Chains A and B, each alone.
Chain A
């Protein structure tokens, strides 16, 4: 999986959840969960995280960003 969470760093603040354009993240009872069927690996969550707990792999990210852009266009 190209979306990786360092659980030791994660403080479950939810900043990533609030910025995810695809509702791919949720704060469940036992921590942050990523839903791969919704996640496009755009990397926005990685940026928003105050503790750098999320890592989205580079090639996967480029494809994800393109997907995010495309989705934005169709939503408009």
Chain B
């Protein structure tokens, strides 16, 4: 990669948001550089690896080698063990293969990618972002550009340097621990989701099957005195489908579950993906949100670069565009999460008893009508109406 000269765009982060954004920009004929701090794009994963089939509308058909398991629905388990089956087509991916495929697509379109490159800070001149400073194996370098797009995930200092506070509130993060295990007996055609306040306070436990008796088994919880590893070890020790399985990978991390940024742009700068808190607040899925977020960023960026105006004002259509196309929906899901959070284990047991499969889907889409319809048929659920006020 030639660091001299001025690129059109530098994208920091070659995850789903960064790579997909890079591909779109390169296809628009722009000169794009992408940096990723990891030595290997996509690894290690910090993800349950689940993805809605609808994501293929954005990225095209996902190659088989990226897919660990095809899924035809979700089984949601109440604390009493009864479950509800919600249909839905999707995949559990092999992120290290999937992320490299997305990066390859970006490179084939003309983006120039360099892994193993830590971007430490933005070059800001007169309030305008004009480049980045980074390190390759400890050797510093600089790269100049018209526009920087941060697709860094939630843990980067870069957006703050551009005046955008991406701090995740402690109330709006789930802290998670996961084992990839072999010898899991759960039905591989489904993802299995476990609800319960003792099992996973404000979060859930998951078994996302990857085929060949392999599965991602994890728990996400609201941060408090007990860490999620404790909850996961308890879950694994007591669940017949996983208690005898082997652990082949250990993952941990935080995921934003709300608090999407109102403003995501600055002079010469855009933040997108998980860094902008673009994640489903109920199930924590961020891949599809990242792809959408990266695509909208690419569309606005391409437009602005054509007009040679990358001022904050010119980039503001990214804020409007994301909130109009996606933000309204994500906000509804956040509100639905606030309702679910207040539920007791008895409430969950009751819901799994009375909800129909399609109600669960509507719930994760943030449609409170699902509740209202069920309450109309089951007056004992009337107390939930208060949660919706």
Contact = CB atoms under 8 A, between A and B. Distances in A.
B169 interface: yes
Interface in A1-28: 11, 13-15, 17-21, 23, 26-28
Contacts, number: 76
Nearest to B161: A23
Interface string B122-152: 0000000000000100100000000000000
Interface string A30-61: 00000000000000100111111000000000
Contacts of A48: 170, 173, 175, 223, 254
22 contacts: A11-B253, A13-B155, A13-B252, A13-B253, A14-B153, A14-B154, A14-B155, A14-B253, A15-B154, A15-B252, A15-B253, A15-B254, A17-B155, A18-B256, A19-B173, A23-B157, A29-B138, A47-B223, A48-B175, A48-B223, A50-B175, A51-B229
A23 B162 CA distance: 13
User: Contact residue range for chain B?
Assistant: 20 to 34
Nearest to A27: B155
Interface of A: 11, 13-15, 17-21, 23, 26-29, 44, 47-52
Nearest to B172: A19
B175 A15 contact: yes
B227 interface: yes
A18 B254 contact: yes
B177 interface: yes
B90 interface: no
A52 B118 CA distance: 26
A18 B168 contact: yes
A13 B46 contact: yes
A15 B167 contact: no
B61 interface: no
B155 A18 contact: yes
B160 A23 contact: yes
Nearest to A18: B154
B176 interface: yes
B42 interface: no
Contact of B167 (A14, A18, A26, A52): A18
Interface string B205-220: 0000000000000000
Contacts of B229: 50-52
